[in-house]
């Protein structure tokens, strides 16, 4: 097991109708609040009114930044930074999915930095401080509700980049499974795939003798596989939604990477596809991940055998390790297809025009991933297999 440090200061407030605690959670940080939200789902569901009611109860001065895009944009983040400075904002409240949360984190860091917030994504500057932020999550997917990461797109340069800092962990996140009832099937699917992909990135590792981390990972996968289908069959199944929501948080809150070397190559490749084509993150991952698996599994076939047997209950009797591993990978693809995720870039109207650029950008600092470090040529092969 590798040495590691675990730090996570986010207070999780989980359960039905927990938005009622919003006022008391915000009050210690101040009353000048920037409310950040997306394209309007929170108005349709009534959550917007509930949040404003809670903010009014504590006498907060509320400023709003609506219109955060899926794959949130730098231009929108800059609008939020400007409001924070002009209005002397003391607290940022993000209400929505991962994109809204990520935008809020970038705004929180950018508001207290004199340079361009993009500097943090290109390692030109390190986040030293940030405004405090809290979240009300409405979609099970990214884990952004309990981590210090954010992913922002620069639409002018067609780059999608991450920033990360312990300064931007949410001070609290409210997770009410009922707030995810309205998530449409396609976004539910994207979330399922994203959660599973976060587990894959940390599970397919060359680190051995880490049974606890492996079983944590497998338990999240099994929970998501089962409850994902239940939530799709009945969007108002409270327990299914609750189990998905908690799985999403645990998949990326710093639990799984403890003591193991993680990979993250597939996320790196997906971000390059999204940067050019603005596709949903989960859809890109559904296409790419089984192809990454097929490309790399021979590096440690035993891990893929374990995955096939424990997660997909593949019967290993009289089969070679390669056969078992490939059956597990096929089961992954079959599940994604069964729940309605795309299997090829072509299904999203993406052709081969920009594959070279995507592979180039993904490997701009050298080979990516650790299970099998991927060169530009390797990334190209995976992208070609995904067409």
Q: Measured from the CB of residue 281, what is the shortest distance to ligand NZQ in angstroms?
A: 4
Query: Which residue of 98, 254, 257, 369 would you call a contact of ligand NZQ, by CB under 6 A?
Result: 98
User: Exactly one of 97, 228, 290, 342 binds ligand NZQ (CB under 6 A); which one?
Assistant: 97
- Which tokens in the block code for residue 379? 């990334």
The residue from 54, 149, 253, 291 that contacts ligand NZQ (CB under 6 A) is 149
Question: How far, in Å, CA of 199 to CA of 256, rounded?
Answer: 7
Closer by beta carbon to ligand NZQ, 181 or else 295: 181
CA atoms of 245 and 188, how far apart (whole Å): 11
Query: For ligand NZQ, which is the closer residue by CB, 168 or 382?
Result: 168
Nearer to ligand NZQ, 142 or 227 (CB): 142
Cα dihedral across residues 329, 335, 337, 341: positive or negative: negative
What long-range pairs does 219-227 form, CB within 8 A, spacing at least 24? 220/195, 220/247, 220/250, 220/251, 220/256, 221/196, 221/311, 222/311, 223/247, 224/192, 224/195, 224/196, 224/199, 224/251, 225/196, 225/311, 225/335
CB of 314 to ligand NZQ, least distance (A): 27
Closest separation in Å from C-beta 86 to ligand NZQ: 24
Q: Does 228 bind ligand NZQ (CB under 6 A)?
A: no
Residue 230 CB, shortest distance to ligand NZQ, in Å, is 17
- Give the x/- contact pattern for ligand NZQ in 108-137, rule: CB under 6 A: ------------------------------
Alpha-carbon gap, residue 374 to 293, rounded angstroms:
12
- Does 268 engage in binding with ligand NZQ (CB under 6 A)? no
- Residue 139 interacts, among ligand NZQ, Zn ion, none and using kind-specific CB cut-offs from 5 to 8 Å, with ligand NZQ
Residues 177-196 close enough to bind ligand NZQ by CB under 6 A:
179-180, 182-183, 187, 190-191, 194
User: 335: how many CB neighbours lie within 10 A of its CB?
Assistant: 21
Answer yes or no whether residue 244 interacts with ligand NZQ by CB under 6 A: no
Work out which of 135, 142, 165, 167 binds ligand NZQ, going by CB under 6 A: 142
- Give SS3 for 264: coil
Short-list 29, 30, 24, CA closest to 54: 24
- CA-to-CA distance for 228 and 222, rounded, in angstroms? 10
| Beta bridge partners of residue 151, listed in sequence order | 162
Contact criterion met (CB below 8 Å) for 170 and 149: no
Q: How far apart are CA 259 and CA 228, in angstroms?
A: 28
Asked whether position 314 contacts ligand NZQ by CB under 6 A, the answer is no
Single out the segment in contact with ligand NZQ by CB under 6 A; choices: 95-103, 108-116, 218-226, 368-376.
95-103
d(CA 353, CA 374): 21
Q: Is 71 in the site for ligand NZQ (CB under 6 A)?
A: yes
The binding site for ligand NZQ (CB under 6 A) comprises 38-42, 70-71, 96-100, 102, 138-139, 141-144, 147, 149-151, 179-180, 182-183, 187, 190-191, 194, 252, 267, 281-282
């Amino acid at each position: 097991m590798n040495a590691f440090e675990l730090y996570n200061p986010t207070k999780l407030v989980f359960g039905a109708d927990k938005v009622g605690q919003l006022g008391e959670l915000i009050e210690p940080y101040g009353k000048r609040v920037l409310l950040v939200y997306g394209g309007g789902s929170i108005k349709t569901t009534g959550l917007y009114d509930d949040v404003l009611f809670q903010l009014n109860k504590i006498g907060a001065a509320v400023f709003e930044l609506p219109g955060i895009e899926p794959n949130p944009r730098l231009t929108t983040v800059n609008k939020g930074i400007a409001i924070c400075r002009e209005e002397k904002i003391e607290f940022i409240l993000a209400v929505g999915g991962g994109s809204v949360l990520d935008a809020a984190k970038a705004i929180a860091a950018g508001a207290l930095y004199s340079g361009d917030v993009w500097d943090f994504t290109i390692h030109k500057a390190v986040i030293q401080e940030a405004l405090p932020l809290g979240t009300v999550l409405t979609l099970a997917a990214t884990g952004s509700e309990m981590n210090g990461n954010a992913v922002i797109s620069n639409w002018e340069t067609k780059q999608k980049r991450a920033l990360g800092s312990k300064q931007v962990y949410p001070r609290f996140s409210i997770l009410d499974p009922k707030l995810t009832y309205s998530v449409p099937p396609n976004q539910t699917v994207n979330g399922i795939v994203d959660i599973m992909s976060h587990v894959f990135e940390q599970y397919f590792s060359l680190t051995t003798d880490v049974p606890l981390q492996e079983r944590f990972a497998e338990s999240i996968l099994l929970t998501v596989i089962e409850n994902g289908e239940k939530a799709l069959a009945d969007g108002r199944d409270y327990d299914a939604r609750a189990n998905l929501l908690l799985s999403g948080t645990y998949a990326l809150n710093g639990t799984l990477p403890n003591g193991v070397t993680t990979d993250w190559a597939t996320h790196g490749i997906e971000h390059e596809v999204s940067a050019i084509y603005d596709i949903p993150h989960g859809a890109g991952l559904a296409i790419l991940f089984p192809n990454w698996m097929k490309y790399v599994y021979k590096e440690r076939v035993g891990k893929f055998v374990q995955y096939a047997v424990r997660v997909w209950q593949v019967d290993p009797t009289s089969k070679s390790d390669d056969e078992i591993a490939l059956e597990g990978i096929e089961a992954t693809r079959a599940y994604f297809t069964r729940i309605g995720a795309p299997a090829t870039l072509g299904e999203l109207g993406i052709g081969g025009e920009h594959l070279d650029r995507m592979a180039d950008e993904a490997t701009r600092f050298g080979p990516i991933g650790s299970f099998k470090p991927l060169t530009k040529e390797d990334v190209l092969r995976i992208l070609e297999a995904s067409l």
